Amino acid sequence: MANSGSSRPNRPIRPRQGAVGPRRKRRVVIDNQPSRGGGARPGAPGARDPRPEGRTPGKVAPAPTGPITVPSGVSVRDLSQALGIPVAQIIKIMMGMGEMVTITQSLTDEAVVLIGAELSPPREIKLKHAADEEGELDAEETPDAPEDLEPRPPVVTIMGHVDHGKTTLLDAVRKTAVAASEVGGITQHVGAYQVEHGSRRITFVDTPGHEAFTAMRARGANVTDIAVLVVAADDGVMPQTKESIAHARAADVPIVVAVNKIDLPDANIDRVKSDLASEGLQPEEWGGTTQFSEVSAKKNIGLDDLLEKVLLVADLELDLKSNPNVEASGSIIESRLDVGRGPVATMLVRRGTLRVGDAMVAGGSWGKVRALYDYRGVRVEEARPGDPVEILGLDKPPAAGERCRVVANERQARSLAQQRGLRLRSEEVATRSRRRVSLETLFSELKEGEVKDLNLILKGDVVGSVEAAASELQKIQHSEVRVNVIQSGVGGITENDVMLASASNALIVGFNVRPNSEARTAADRQGVDIRTYRVIYQLTEDIEKALVGMLSAVTSEHILGEVEVRATFRASRIGTIAGCYVRSGIVRRGALVRLLRDGSIVHETTIGQLKRFKDDAREVAEGFECGILLDGYNDVKEGDVFEVYEVRETERTSLDETVPPPTAQSS
């Protein structure tokens, strides 16, 4: 080829790089343009395909056709790779649903299922939530040998209706004054305590009784071994009593009934037992299997009998053993941000022994245990299975109910917490309701009227109270106004909260927390309203009042009078003047008027001018004649009737009040 007679100058013949060995045939390439890279042209013999092997442009490697499992909050790109379909196909399906998505956007659980159903052939997509991953971690734990297991204290949850004496009963058992410190006699937090009966210990978890803390009460049932249902002998079974029974049964734990306040003169124990029997809790003396104990918390009656029955149920129905010689794991009962000590978490150890210096991870929080305190506030060096303990050393307060475990070192704890935090944020995005903007929703919103938002920033002293308050606020719903919690957190109200509230036109609500001096100064300067509360009743009532103030007023029509047209006069410059007779009521200048002809509405307008003879009049009473000029309408005939009315607005005092449909009709 070098001596082919080409007019182009010959270039030196260079061997292909990497050709070695005497048996391998040497290949040469004549490159007339050495400044260009890339070697042989595409398609030429020996040219290398730059695409990955087995890949075709614009296509994704096919995936198995069977069911797939993806995490909740999966992005469009990750779902595309899992399904083996192009990203554009998923975006096209979402556009058909009326929603525009990007390649990195997280999809809701409903959207993921619908995408699988829209494929041809349809694909089954299973979703894995963060709670399922925690269950998998529990399943991965190495089973303990029987000889390594040791008895542990039973974990007992006090449940029941508000004001039935739960905290007073626990106070009598522990012989401490906890009830006196509760605001309004209502338990606002979840606390864990231990008592000794004979030579054995029992761990009690006190749960709030108000309906606003249903989620916290359910969390208490999920970490417990035995549920003690407190029912007042003078009150009987109430709605939250039934809720507590449902939570205990959902957690699959045995129930011991404590009939409290038996010392009151109107106590009726038989009625309580009969009501509970109808709920499926048959007393043992009536042939059932439920243990009943008659107690009086204030008189200290029957407390030993209650503890004995709790231990009896633990021995007969439960095999409460755990291995204390492994890395500790358990559940977060409560957490808060303590001034001076930082994040403080209350953990119930279920397995292993927790020691000072252990590296641990709890959901999206991690840290090294700096100090441990028991339920009395005494500093301890370790906590064994069944013990409630306060932990210092986490980087932030973990969510109540999170699984907490000890890991090898702080590096692993940080990595696991970051992964868990990303999963929780993705799932939060997936489960968060989105307002989809489409022509249909836009038309309906314009038709119904603008929806007003009451933006709130919610701060509390502990995570459980914040969750419960946010849940209670979300229950306040109305077609015209709604509560929008744009941020919630644990700790005092800071200047950053005020800045966010100012930018978002939000109200700051504090539950058992106060603003610092910088926050107060910034709030005064920015005009931000800060409200603080200690009881959740006051919080919800004030928010409802604020929402009522945002409601549009109730409008109603009030008929002023009826006028008959008896003659018409046409004026060249102003239009048709109607000579009228006021048959009833009054007619007022500027009032609204309907023109009726043979009983049908012809037009609606206002009274432009009103005269008595040649003089302008403000109003004309019944039985008098007058001249009326309608605003912007001249087709008036003799025999027409003017119905004069006005629209009155009445401020609403309750969210339950609705706007009546307007009675006026347009032409």
The structure tokens listed for 74 are 């999966």
CA 588, chain centre distance (Å): 53
CA distance 457 to 505: 10
- The pLDDT value recorded for residue 655 is 46
pTM of the model: 0.56
> Left (φ > 0), alpha (ψ -120 to 50) or beta: where does 5 sit?
left
For 338, counting Cβ atoms within 10 Å of its Cβ (0-12 exposed, 13-18 middle, 19+ buried), the class is middle
CA 515, chain centre distance (Å): 24
- Smallest Cα–Cα separation from 240: which of 308, 187, 284? 187
The structure tokens listed for 139 are 């399943």
Q: If you write DSSP's letter for every residue of 474-526 in order, what string do you get?
A: HT-B-SSEEEEEEEEEES-B-HHHHHHHHHHT-EEEEES--B-HHHHHHHHHH
> Tell me, what amino acid is at 546?
A
Name 569's bridge partners.
Answer: 577
- Please state at what angle helix 463-474 crosses helix 536-550, rounded to 10 degrees: 40
Q: Which long-range contacts (CB under 8 A, 24 or more apart) does 119-125 make?
A: 119/83, 119/85, 119/93, 121/65, 123/65, 123/67, 123/68, 123/83, 124/66, 124/67, 124/68, 125/67, 125/68, 125/69, 125/70, 125/83
State which residues of the chain have pLDDT below 50. Answer: 1-7, 17-21, 29-40, 42-47, 49-63, 139, 176-181, 183-188, 209-213, 433-451, 550-551, 655-667
Q: For the chain, count helices (H), then strands (E).
A: 15, 33
H/E element, 88: helix 87-96
> Left (φ > 0), alpha (ψ -120 to 50) or beta: where does 588 sit?
beta
CA distance 104 to 115: 16
Q: Please give the angle made by the CA atoms of 483, 485 and 491, to the nearest 5 degrees.
A: 140
- Smallest Cα–Cα separation from 413: which of 307, 475, 327? 327
- The pLDDT value recorded for residue 654 is 52
Strands (E), 326-420: 329-338, 342-351, 354-355, 359-362, 365-373, 379-380, 382-383, 388-394, 403-407
CA distance 515 to 39: 70
Contacts of 132 (CB under 8 A, 6+ apart): none
Contacts of 56 (CB under 8 A, 6+ apart): none
- 8 A C-beta contact, residue 558 and residue 662: no
- Residue where the block lists tokens 């006026």: 664
> Tell me, what amino acid is at 554?
V
CA distance 226 to 317: 10
The structure tokens listed for 97 are 């649903």
- Taken as a whole, the chain contains a residue count of 667
CA distance 554 to 12: 95
- Residue where the block lists tokens 């700096």: 370
Tens digits of per-residue pLDDT, 230-289?
A: 898 888 888 778 878 887 787 788 999 999 888 888 888 888 898 898 888 888 888 888
H/E element, 596: strand 592-597
- Return the SS3 of 217: helix
Give backbone dihedrals phi and psi of 423, rounded to 5 degrees, phi first.
-65, -45
